């Protein structure tokens, strides 16, 4: 029986090649984008999850500060039995040092050179390839390199035991090699022993400072610690410390941020080197992924129900010769599942084709070896079944509901119910498309506004204050010498404001690019469905076209007749989409302290673009039908 279902399905595919192509291609593109978005979302939510003790790791914060002085970690470990271990990081002190290696004294600057406490590997799970995590940072002037950084500095040999020179004067011994650290909220290329900083700065008090808040401090807690109660104890303790150290009193706000929450946290304003995801972007992309898949599924439902007049006689004959409704439903669901299977197989190819472009936009955040994950294949197979069944259920029950007698008399193949349902689905497709058009325009206007807004000063040559003249380097050196006179124990760091602003805009630019790509593909899939419906409409009304032309109707009048219904659907979709788009985009804009105004001309632009898309999609097939010789159309009448 199953073999017969498959044979019948293949026969139907080959008989309706264009419709089969639209269904399979549109669904494949939709599934490919769904896979890419899902992988991106999975990547975002996997940050810091590699840590085996993630449920017990917290960062000690105060108010909206995620960085503290050097004394807080040892203080908490010393005074609270709830704390198993602590780890401080220095992210910015010597984050981009000049490194000299080898007999030839080869020089290079490396990014993300961190310092951390000896027990950092007891807190965080960094996989060691060489060296002992228990002793790797036991001594000052020791450093652990990532695998790629070790290869960059020393080639493919064993780098453990080698020496690197920091800023040409400080020798560090390589004591371990770890796997490259991915999806950690801090960028890591090298981790040196933390107490070494006191020697580098020649400061006796460096490791015992409650001031100079520059160091994120992490705590590994014992199992079963009640976090609210522990936070209350911390605040009571540090109130006494502040009274002793600073002669100040008052309510403090020390609190713990779970490691698993840091990546998406938005409450902390002052931190150094922390990578953050944007949960709002994630929610938007989840919605887009579902809508793209839904648009592709709607194409299948629309085209299948539209072809009901052709399949109706087949259904009638099967019922007349004794075919049960259950068998007919199984037949149509089998066809739907086969289309879903072919589309998902093709989607894998599209995913590989599109992945490099999206990885470029996402800076390599998407996991390329997803096919090695059993979880992916479980979701993939479930997706084939789910999309196939959900897309095929309505057409299957719609087609099998025909009365065989009415079908054979051709009285029940063009029901208004199916036509109305297709119109609703088409309106919904363009409703989504119009929202995406408005969203794309609004996002790009906001990004352009932020990058070009008059900030009230010249952001070029700003180092937190304006440098007059062109000799930037001498000005920076002068500031460094003044800094070293007053605070010789702490590093002088500077950042150009225009570079900092550009980094802040980068995430929004990535979001805008991704949004526009997804909008383009969603509209493309909707256009495929619209083309299929226009093809069906012209085929169904071929005889009408021939008669109208024979009676003197021109090409323009015939094209206008066909465009009327489709353009009406687009107009209705716009009227429904405008308030929805206005609500969503004004909510999005409200997240920016400086934002562009939402202009109502964007609605007009979306209307014009959506109408042009519909007209060009429908007109090609309609013009072809309208230019056909009526004698050829009516030759069999």
Q: What single string gives the DSSP state of each residue in 461-518?
A: TBSSSBPPSS-HHHHHHHHHHHHHHH-TTS------HHHHHHHHHHHHHHHHHHHHHH
Q: Report the C-alpha gap between 468 and 543 in whole angstroms.
A: 80
Residues forming beta bridges with residue 170, ordered by sequence position: 166
Structure tokens at 289: 């992924």
The closest alpha carbon to 74, from 95, 55, 63, 88, belongs to 88
The closest alpha carbon to 6, from 348, 341, 322, belongs to 341
Spell out the residues 6+ positions from residue 33 whose beta carbon is closer than 8 angstroms to its own: 289, 292, 354, 518, 521
Q: Report the C-alpha gap between 23 and 152 in whole angstroms.
A: 49
Structure tokens at 385: 């079944």
Q: Is the pLDDT of residue 519 over 90?
A: no
Helix (H/G/I), strand (E/B), else coil: 595: coil
Instruction: Label residue 614 by pLDDT band (50, 70, 90).
Output: confident
Residues forming beta bridges with residue 634, ordered by sequence position: none
Q: Measured in Å, how far apart are the chain's first and last C-alpha atoms? A: 40
Specify the range with the lowest mean pLDDT, choosing from 54-63, 162-171, 245-254. Answer: 245-254
Q: Where are the beta strands (DSSP E) in 212-253?
A: 217-221
The closest alpha carbon to 538, from 508, 565, 567, belongs to 565
Q: Report the C-alpha gap between 79 and 236 in whole angstroms.
A: 12
* 342: DSSP letter: H
476-496: average pLDDT: 66
Check if the beta carbon of residue 149 is closer than 8 Å to that of residue 157: no
Chain segment 131-164, per-residue pLDDT in tens: 999 999 999 999 999 999 999 998 877 889 999 9
Specify the range with the lowest mean pLDDT, choosing from 308-322, 469-483, 510-524, 583-597. Answer: 308-322
Q: Is 85 left (phi over 0), alpha (psi -120 to 50) or beta?
A: beta
Helix (H/G/I), strand (E/B), else coil: 127: coil
The closest alpha carbon to 537, from 445, 625, 441, belongs to 625
Chain segment 172-216, per-residue pLDDT in tens: 999 999 999 989 999 999 999 999 999 888 888 889 889 878 899
Q: Is the pLDDT of residue 463 over 60?
A: no
Q: Report the C-alpha gap between 299 and 425 in whole angstroms.
A: 9
Residues forming beta bridges with residue 106, ordered by sequence position: 101
Check if the beta carbon of residue 389 is closer than 8 Å to that of residue 337: yes
Chain segment 64-107, per-residue pLDDT in tens: 999 999 999 999 999 999 999 999 999 876 767 888 887 777 88
Q: Is the pLDDT of residue 360 over 90?
A: no
Per-residue confidence (pLDDT) for residue 87, from 0 to 100: 96
The closest alpha carbon to 27, from 344, 381, 355, 396, belongs to 344
């Amino acid at each position: 029986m199953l073999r017969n279902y498959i044979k019948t399905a293949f026969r139907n595919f080959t008989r309706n090649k264009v419709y089969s192509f639209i269904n399979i291609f549109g669904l494949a593109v939709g599934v490919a984008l769904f896979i890419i978005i899902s992988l991106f979302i999975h990547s975002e939510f996997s940050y810091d999850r590699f840590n085996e003790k993630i449920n017990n790791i917290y960062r000690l914060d105060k108010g909206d500060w995620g960085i503290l002085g050097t004394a807080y970690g040892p203080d908490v470990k010393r005074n609270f039995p709830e704390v198993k271990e602590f780890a401080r990081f220095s992210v910015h002190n010597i984050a981009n040092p000049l490194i000299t290696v080898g007999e030839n004294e080869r020089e290079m600057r490396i990014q993300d050179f961190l310092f951390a406490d000896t027990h950092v590997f007891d807190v965080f799970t960094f996989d060691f390839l060489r060296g002992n995590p228990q002793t790797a940072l036991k001594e000052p002037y020791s450093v652990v390199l990532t695998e790629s950084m070790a290869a960059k500095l020393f080639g493919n040999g064993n780098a453990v035991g080698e020496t690197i020179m920091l800023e040409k004067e400080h020798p560090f011994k390589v004591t371990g090699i770890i796997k490259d650290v991915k999806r950690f909220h801090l960028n890591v290329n090298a981790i040196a022993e933390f107490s070494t900083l006191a020697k580098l700065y020649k400061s006796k008090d460096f490791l015992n400072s409650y001031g100079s808040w520059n160091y994120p401090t992490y705590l590994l807690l014992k199992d079963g610690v009640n976090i609210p109660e522990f936070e209350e104890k911390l605040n009571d303790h540090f109130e006494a410390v502040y009274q002793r150290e600073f002669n100040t009193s008052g309510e403090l706000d020390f609190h713990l941020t779970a490691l698993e929450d840091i990546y998406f946290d938005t409450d902390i304003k002052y931190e150094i080197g922390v990578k953050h995801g944007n949960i709002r972007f994630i929610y938007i992309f989840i919605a887009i992924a579902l809508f793209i898949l839904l648009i592709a599924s709607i194409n299948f439902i629309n085209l299948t129900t539209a072809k009901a007049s052709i399949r109706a006689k087949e259904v009638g004959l099967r019922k007349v010769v004794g075919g049960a409704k259950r068998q007919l439903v199984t037949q149509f669901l089998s066809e739907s599942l086969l289309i879903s299977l072919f589309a998902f197989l093709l989607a894998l190819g599209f995913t590989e084709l599109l992945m490099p472009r999206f990885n470029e936009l996402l800076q390599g955040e998407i996991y390329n070896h997803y096919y090695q994950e059993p979880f992916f294949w479980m979701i993939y197979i479930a997706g084939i079944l789910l999309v196939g069944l959900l897309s095929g259920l309505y057409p299957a029950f719609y087609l099998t509901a025909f009365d065989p007698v009415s079908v054979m008399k051709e009285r029940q193949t063009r029901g208004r119910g199916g036509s109305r349902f297709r119109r609703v689905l088409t309106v919904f497709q363009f409703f989504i498309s119009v929202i995406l058009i408005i969203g794309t325009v609004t996002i790009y206007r906001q990004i352009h506004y932020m990058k070009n807004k008059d900030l009230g000063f010249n952001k070029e040559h700003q180092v937190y204050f304006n440098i007059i003249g062109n000799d930037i380097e001498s000005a920076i050196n002068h500031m460094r010498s003044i800094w070293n006179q007053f605070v010789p124990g702490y590093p002088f760091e500077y950042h150009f404001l225009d570079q900092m602003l550009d980094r802040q805009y980068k995430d929004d630019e990535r979001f805008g690019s991704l949004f526009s790509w997804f909008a383009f593909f969603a509209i493309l899939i909707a256009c495929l469905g619209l083309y299929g419906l226009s093809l069906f409409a012209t085929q169904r009304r071929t005889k009408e076209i021939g008669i109208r032309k024979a009676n003197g109707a021109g090409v323009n009048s015939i094209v206008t007749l066909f465009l009327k219904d489709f353009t009406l659907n687009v107009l209705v979709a716009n009227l429904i989409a405008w308030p929805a788009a206005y609500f969503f985009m004004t909510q999005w804009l409200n997240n920016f302290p400086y934002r562009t105004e939402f202009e109502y001309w964007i609605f007009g632009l979306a209307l014009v673009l959506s109408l042009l898309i519909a007209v060009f999609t429908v007109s090609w097939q309609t013009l072809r039908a309208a230019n056909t010789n009526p004698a050829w159309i009516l030759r069999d009448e």
